[in-house]
Every structure is written in structure tokens, then in C-alpha cells.
Structure 1
Amino acid sequence: MMHKHTQKSLVAAALALMSASASAGVNFDAIGPHEYNLPAGGFEPFNVFVQYASVSDDDKAYDADGDKIDGPGTRTLVGISKYVRFWTPGWAPKIGLAYEILVPTIGVRDKAAGTQTSGIGDPLTGFAVWYKPNENATLGFQSFVHIPVGGEVSDTNWKSNTSFFWDFRLPAKFGFTGDAGYLYQTERVSGFKPGLSWFTNDRFGLRVSEHVEPFIGFDAEYQDGNDGAPHSWTIDGGVGVMFHTFKNQSITVRYSTTLDAVSRVENDSLNVRYIYSW
């Protein structure tokens, strides 16, 4: 069993959510190698702050035939600040619970025109619940709602984001963490209603030392066509390193790119995550 403070440092606070309009990446694609390596029930309540940052160049895209074409030529910058409260309910001491609040900040730059649109995006809030069948496995469920009260960069519609998640600590200091779920969206102010999206995110890491853990990641998403918009899908791959800097802090850096896609902007992004627990 890990020391309590070590457990806290491994908690990546369940999810990192990015609006589909703000990023070419897949839903939840900011997760890291220990995203769902959560403590067993019976722990003392604690808090986690997470800051995510992503820079993506949208110079290329994939058309309906899967051929690469010129993209919108924009640069998208996303920052997400997240607070999470973790606790164990008295009526179920073997269960872990978490409640989260996330506030995104989004900037979209037109590199050719030299203009930028930026502001506070639609905040998200929701919960996670999990159970550990043994000390090396975590199984859980999480659900979030996007509230359309952001500024110019708001998607102007409600969203429901629900998924199952898992984490397995494997022999030889390997680890596998991931999730799979769906995103449902209501009609936007413009009258357009996006189709239902299905997604999965997977991270495979190797703890090569006390402080360094390189990893590879795969993200995939399929979105139904609707209201004249075609169906789309993407498979992204990435590499990164998680730095376990202190017992209650970590920094993760990852590069992600599109491996294959249809009717999607190509993902070409650098992603950073900072975690602090107390």
C-alpha cells in the first residue's frame, strides 16, 4: 500500500475536458499516466488543484475521404483550471468520491490575419466514483455537465459527458490508465445540433526512476453526423513524460498528433499538466 501523500500525488483529478470547438484533440485527451490511480476507500478528505495548458496549430485537416488538406490556419490556446475535492462517504467506506469544478480559458488566433478571439469558456462540473478491487487496480465512473455561460468562445449549448475509467499498476513498474465514454450535446443558439460523440483515451507508462515516467498515449473519437454535418472520426497518438517532482506535485508534458482521421482538423499540439494536492 502506498503512503497517503504518495497516493495524493498520483491523483490527476479524474478528467481534463476541452471543448470540441476549442481543440482539434479528442475529449479528455489531456489525461496522464496516473490519471485514475486513485486511493483506496477510507482515506482522509483532501483537495487537488490542476492546471492544464495546450497549444495547437490547426494548419492541416482531413476531408470526408480521409485525405489531408489545408486547415483553418489558426493557433488554439487552451488553459483549464480545475479544483477537486476527494472524500470517502461514511455509508460506503470502500468507495471513493470526487467532485470537480473546471473553468477553461480559450484563445483562437488567425495567424494569417493577425487577429484573435479569446475569453472564458463554458465551465464544467461533475463527480467521479470509484472502487479498488485490489491495491493495483481502480475501476470507476464519472459524469460532467458543460454549462453554456462562457464569453465569445462559448459553444452556447449544454453538454453531458459521461465515461467509465480504469487504472492498472502492472509488473516491472508499467502502468495502464484510460477511459471510454460519450458526449451528448443539445442544440446551439445557431440552431445546429452536434451529433453524439464516442471517445476513449489510453496511457501506457513506465516508471524508469523515482521522478521520471515516460509514456505513450492513444486517443480516438467518433462523432455521428447530424443537421447536415458529416460523421467524423480521429485516431491520435502521442508521447510524453511525467515528472514526479514532489510527493504532492507533478508536471506532465506531452506532444500529440493525428495518425488518421475523416472530417477532422489535424491535431498538432503540445500539452502541459501541473498537479498540486493538499
Structure 2
Amino acid sequence: MSGFSFSTGVRMLAGVSVPVFSGILMCKIVYEVTGRISLSYFKGYTKLRKEQQVEWNNRGFSTFHALLAAAISFYLVVLSDLFRDDGHDELVINRHSTLSNTILGVSIGYFLADLGMILWCFPALGGKEYVVHHGLSMYSILLALMSGQAQIYILMVLFTEITTPFVNLRWYLDVAGQKSSKLYVYNGIALFVGWLVARVLLFIFFFTHMYLHFDQVKMIFPLGFYSILMVPPMISLLNLFWFWKILKGLIKTLSKARHKS
């Protein structure tokens, strides 16, 4: 990659230290707010075990980050002209902006906070696959921030967080004893469709875009180039693994609902 050096990367990383810290602070604030709101408006919250309350609050800031990251990623990739082929003279793999750097920095802060809680409570908040997912995510985002390259692909992957609120709602309803409710069934269907679109079909578009712009992809600095060839397929395999589990869960839920009716 022309113009990229370790010192340049360090300077760029230092420039997003505030967003990273803001992401960690955001998680802390939302964690506390989720607990206080739940304590006031959800009677069953006090009946939860301590570890369930921790996960309840944890999923609060997980949902908040997912909505924020997905919204900004969608705006940058789809609505703005930042990454349009005819929008700039600069190569699409070299384009970034203050907003893209900021949301990537905030996301690193989120993944750091969430990974810290996962490891602290391991394996209550998630198994090894979550550690792998968060590790790969932070690694990829960090490279994009330090180099200023391939941010379009990182933002595409970040948009897949849009499925997280459905995952969290499923857990909330389960803990609240609402697995037999219609909302649980509808959320399961929404999760299946959302996962199919955002974490399966979107990755097909992701790899197609890379193929069509491979002449530019090859210009990414060596570590970034080989990482973008290896990390997205690994995340895609994780998504397919979870998609299979979601499909089996949906079939089981619909089968129970059909028998009850």
C-alpha cells in the first residue's frame, strides 16, 4: 500500500482513541441505564439470578450498539456517495471519512467491552465462538482504521449487527417466560429472515463486490490484503453455523405453535 507505514498507522489510531473510549463509555452507561429501567418497569427483573441480570444489562448495550452501527453503516455504504463507483476519483478501497473512522472506533470500544465481560463471566455470556467472532472483528476494524483502507468491506460486515436486536429479544422473552407467546414466534421468523439477508445474502454481495473490484483489492497493503482474503470467509462460516442453529430453532418453535393451535 502506497504511503502506509507503521508510524502513519499509529497516528491514525491515536486519532480514533477518543471514539474507542467513547464506545467503552457508551457500553457502561447503557449497561447501567438498562439495569435501572428494568428494575423500575419489569417486575421479573428482581427475580432473575445475578448472572442473568448481568446478561440482561449486557444485551442492553449490545442492542444499542447494533442499532447505531447498522444505521451508520447503511448510511455510509448505501445512502451517501462515499463508496459509489462514480462518486469519487479516489479508489473505493482507499475511501474513508471522519464518520466512518468514528463508528469503527466506537465499535472497537464496544467489542472490547463486550469481550471483557464475556471473558470475565465465561462461558455464561457466550462460548469460544463469540471470543473468535469478537477477536476477528476487532482485528479487522483495527487494520482498516490504521491503514484507512477497505473500510467499505468492514462497514458491510458491521451492518450485519442489525440481527443482534432479534437475538437479544429472543433471549429476553425466553428469560421472561414468554417462549409460548406470539411475539416469540414472530421474532423468530424476523430473526431467520434478517439473518438470511444480512449475514448470508449480504456476504454473497460482499464477495461479489470484492471480485469485481479485485484490481483495487490487490493494492491493499500485504497484511490487510491477506486478512481480507481469510477473515471474511471465517466470519461467513460462523454465520452459516449460527444460521443452521437458528433454522433448527425456528422449525422447533413453529412446530410447537402449530400443535397448540
Q: State the TM-score, normalizing by the size of structure 1.
A: 0.22
Q: State the TM-score, normalizing by the size of structure 2.
A: 0.23
Q: Say which structure is richer in helix.
A: 2
Q: Say which structure is richer in strand.
A: 1
